[in-house]
A and B are shown apart, each in its own frame.
Chain A
Amino acid sequence: MQELLQHLANALLLGSTYALLGIGLTLIFGIMRVVNFTHGELYSFGAYAVFFLEAALGVNFFVAIVVAVIAGCLLGALIEFALLRPIQGADIDTTMLVMIGAWIFMQNSELLYWGGVAKSIKTPFPEAPLQLGLISVSWLRIFVLVVGSVLIVATYFFIDHTKLGKAIRATFQDHDTAALMGINIKGIYTATFALGSGLAAAAGALLGPVFLVTPTMGDIASLKAFAIVILGGLGNITGATIGGFILAFVEELGAGYVSSGYRDAMGFVIIIVILLFKPTGLFTRADRIG
């Protein structure tokens, strides 16, 4: 019983960052129909940015996270502007190849600059975990859950209630008609890519201190993000949120009760099962953002 509770608590703490990863990817796919292979690299960028700001520049941990997220948004905007905008309207193969190229380039840049040795990020939280009845959780993980949840809620608010968020939804629902409303579609693409990238960077900035930072950390994050998005249905933000938590629970329980070596395999087991039985994703309410 105690073990189960502990696994559930761990999963809950992990789930919020997985949800961020999934929301970011599903937004970009939903609006732009771009399969974003750089998503995982934005995740590792977020982690490296925190590491770099803290270790090399001596920036405060919390400030470093905020700066990393903003830098992630800007990097996403740059990728969209420099790589995707010039090939807008090209077929999906071209877009995919460009994104795969960007992914390889980004990962190798990290390897070149920081080397292949894993880095760890120092945090201001006490080492001793917080004891809550039968379970114990680290302060860092509680921080991750709180910030992750706040970002999820903020993203919902942004999409549902701000003018830009509404324009993003309108563009998703009807591209040409959105243009007739005077919405700058190219600008929406850049904003969406920046937002999705910022969410990936946030997930990396939050999980980097929990695990270790390595140049290849983005690969598995990317695969997990795809698993979450397939689970929740492409373009479905609520699906991605719930999918993120489901993946975290399955991984945590799989690692706990099957074998910890199979932790990362659990996501793919889910994808296979979902694709076999409900290929449109668990939460498909037609095709929607929101």
Chain B
Amino acid sequence: MSISLLDTLLKVWNNSAFPVITWQQVVMICVAGILIYMAIVKKYEPLLLLPIAFGVILANLPMANLMAPPPADGSGTGGLLYYIYLGVKLGIYPSLIFLGIGAMTDFGPLIARPSSLFLGAAAQLGIYIAFTVAVVLGFNPQEAASIAIIGGADGPTAIFLSSKLAPELLPAIAIAAYSYMALIPMIQPPIMRFLTSKKEREIEMVQLREVSKLERIVFPIVVTIVVCLLLPAVAPLLGMLMLGNLFRESGVVQRLSDTVQNALINIVTIFLATTVGATAVAEVFLSPETLKIVFLGLMAFIFSTIGGLLLGKLMCLLSGGKVNPLIGSAGVSAVPMAARVAQAEGQRANPANFLLMHAMGPNVAGVIGSAVAAGFLLTMFG
């Protein structure tokens, strides 16, 4: 038997994936490169964008078949990511992420000022405007609802809803949602300055009242019972959010609270982000629909900010200037980024202004608001 070096190299080449890779897959790998750059260099939501981007690379490597389902005749097994992706498909990961978020969230500012909930509701305006425009642009109601939820500025909620209503759009929606959340410090301030006067931005708000431990413990129980009875579809997200919060506030399950807000949420984030990225295959992602989703997502974000600010201005007027309207912009649920932006803008107008805790109320109300909006859309189109 004679072995030729050239023949061997040719054989390796022919058996490799290089000859079959398409230009679309190369483009997708370049897109992943840009996302990795944004995550590492620009620090845009690196915890999510980095695994998403790597998932995009894995999904676009021909012959790797990481997302391949098992053969129908049961003669083999599917790809690794196919099985991990089941957690997204079945809505498990977003709910587990909500469990961790609940354990990390302090609802104290919201309990101290329940009117914050109105701002959290107003900041869902973008969802419904984007929904209508998406329908006009030719998306079916399920797709339009999935795209519109980007305006809720809540990644797990967007993934939860689109995995149920329009799984084919999931990668574009997830990437758009997380990218815009990372860009909040650039998107919101110009709108905030345009819609508010300097005098309004300078308003200092009075200190929040004390919140007792008992109130904090009762809060997640009451919210779960009331909201899940009203909108059962929202139970997986809101139920987990409130369970996590009860872990935190009860003070008797420190180990569970610590696990869900650290180890569990980190593990689930790896599974969720990598597999969501792995659904971004070239044939699906490189389409005019993706550009429309990017446009609609931005529009939803902008209108959500506007909705929160306008109600903030109304509350400012009704309260005789006691409410700084900037906290309305924090009603988009990106926690705590949106609240930090409100704090920064308030302090920019008045260096003695401390809006962070006041903005945290609408901010966490936005999480509940976007979950309720998702529950409504799921009830309508699920």
- Are A and B associated in one complex? no
Residues of B within 8 A of A (CB): none
Residues of A within 8 A of B (CB): none
